[in-house]
Copies of this chain bind each other. A is one copy, B any other.
Amino acid sequence: VSRARARRGGARGGRVGYHHGDLPRALVDAALELIGRHGVRALTLRAAARRAGVSQAAPYRHFADKDALLAAVAEEGFRLLTAAMRETAQADGGDPLSRFRGLGLGYVSFAAGHPAHFRVMFGREIVERPPHPGLQAAGGAAFELLVDAIRDCQQAGIVRPGDPVALAVSAWSAVHGLSALVVDGQLDRDGPPDVAALAHAVTADLFLGLAAPRPAAG
């Protein structure tokens, strides 16, 4: 089976190659597959071009350089991340706490389901100077979801008072840390971990704290 020419039977009836199709899309897909299969070091512009069935120089018609391709991957990742968070937040129920927790569960679930995206988004593969426009903003959107949810919970008396941004940093740290540990295989000591169970435990601990219940509150 030749690799470069096996593009025909695509899910939505793609053309016989990308010569007049969507080469940027094909290159992003190729990048994700190379990273997912053999790590970030396996992503080369030339290999991505090969997978897409074009010459080594063709990518430069659509991306200024390798960083620009990585930035496209990261940007797509942030879009998918915020979408996943919003979806899980809605699915988890209408009350502010379920919404808040759903955001966290969506975050971890996105990372586990899209490790290649996650690595590019947070891995400093992009050397970029100055930061690609829109990328910083895309990352900020996910954080804003957390801050807003915390504000809602505070107004409902479910989360304790305090700067919602500071509390959001703690929440972000918890779900981001679990995600990073999962994606990096740091939790594989006894086989592949049950990511959903871990996410439920971590978000619960985040909310309740590790402290033993004290006799008097306040």
Q: Which residues of A contact B (CB under 8 A)?
A: 38-42, 119, 122-125, 127, 136, 139-140, 150, 153-154, 157-161, 166-167, 169-181, 183-187, 189, 198, 201-202, 205-218
Contacts and interface: CB of A to CB of B under 8 A. Distances in A.
B187 A177 contact: no
A209 B211 contact: yes
A22 to B, nearest CB: 27
Q: How many copies does the complex hold?
A: 2
Contacts of A215: 217
Contacts of A166: 201
A176 B180 contact: yes
18 contacts: A38-B127, A40-B125, A123-B184, A124-B184, A153-B210, A159-B212, A169-B202, A170-B205, A173-B173, A173-B178, A173-B202, A176-B180, A177-B179, A180-B180, A205-B209, A207-B210, A208-B209, A209-B211
A210 B170 contact: yes
A218 B213 contact: yes
Contacts of A139: 186
Nearest to A100: B210
